[in-house]
Structure 1
Amino acid sequence: MFIGEVSKKTGASPKAIRLYESLGLLVQIKREGTYRVYDQGDVEFIKLIREAQTLGVSLSDLKKLLVGRNELDWSTVIVFLAEKQKKIDIEIASLEIKKEKIATYNQQIKECLDSD
């Protein structure tokens, strides 16, 4: 299938698909003349790339996890995801502290306004 159809199936723009290829995330794309021809494996891998991006995984991090054509080193992925989860836990803890501070400041401001 050509890039337009792949774009419709994956939700990735043709420009994004070309970017994935230029970064080496999509490799060995077949060609018919000057046209790229994608297979179902490419479609599934593009969907995986897009899902990873929604989780905050950068394209360069994804590239590091590749071991072959549209293949990831799953044991490395497990370690990577565990590290990502730790970072998210730290971010959540930091946000909780900020949330508590904001609530405290809000309460203090209300008390000051009420005492006037």
Structure 2
Amino acid sequence: MQIGELARLTRTTPRALRLYEARGLLGPVPRRGRYRHYHAGHAAQVRLVRQALALGLRMADLARLPQHTGADALAQAAALLQARRAQVQRELQRLRAQDDALAALEHALLHCPEADPTGKRPLALDCAPA
């Protein structure tokens, strides 16, 4: 199939496909004259690349992975996924702390007698939760 057909099939653009190819994410793409000729394996690879990018992996990280599917390649891919999961866990902790701080502020605004919505007195954030 040609690039337009692969783009439609994978719901991406020819420009993105050229970029993936230039970064080495699709493996070898045979040509006939000026035209690239893709096969079903390329479509699967494009879907995998798009999924990885949507999950926050970087194209540079994906490009460093070996193109073969041996045990070493799978171990490298697993390590990349573990690193991304660790990043997500750190972000979740940061967001939980932010949510706790927002909840404390909301409580202070709604339930603390010292809270002054007019802004004439400082807001007391240290009142005890109800």
TM-score range, shorter chain: 0.7 to 0.9
AA at the equivalent of 1:39: H
Per-residue displacement from partner, 1:67-103 (whole Å, max 9, x unpaired)? 34xx581111111211211111111011000001011
User: Secondary structure of 1:65's match?
Assistant: coil
Q: Which segments of 5 or more consecutive residues in structure 1 lack a partner in the other structure?
A: none
Could you list the structure 1 runs, at least 4 aligned residues long, displaced by more than 3 angstroms after superposition.
none
In structure 2, the partner of 1:80 is 80
Per-residue displacement from partner, 1:2-56 (whole Å, max 9, x unpaired)? 0111011111110000001111212321112111100111111001000001110
Q: Which segments of 5 or more consecutive residues in structure 2 lack a partner in the other structure?
A: 122-130
Q: Distance in 2 between matches of 1:11 and 1:66?
A: 25
TM-score by length of 1: 0.88
Q: Distance in 1 between matches of 2:100 and 2:33?
A: 61
Q: Distance in 2 between matches of 1:66 and 1:12?
A: 23
Which is richer in helix? Answer: 1
Kindly indicate whether structure 1 or structure 2 has the higher relative contact order, using CA contacts under 8 Å at least 6 residues apart. Answer: 1
User: Secondary structure of 1:66's match?
Assistant: coil
Q: Distance in 2 between matches of 1:30 and 1:4?
A: 15
Question: How well do the aligned residues superpose, as a CA RMSD in angstroms?
Answer: 1.8
Which is richer in strand? Answer: 1
2:60 maps to 1:95: no
TM-score by length of 2: 0.79
Residue 59 of structure 1 deviates from its aligned partner by: 0.6
Residue 113 of structure 1 deviates from its aligned partner by: 4.2
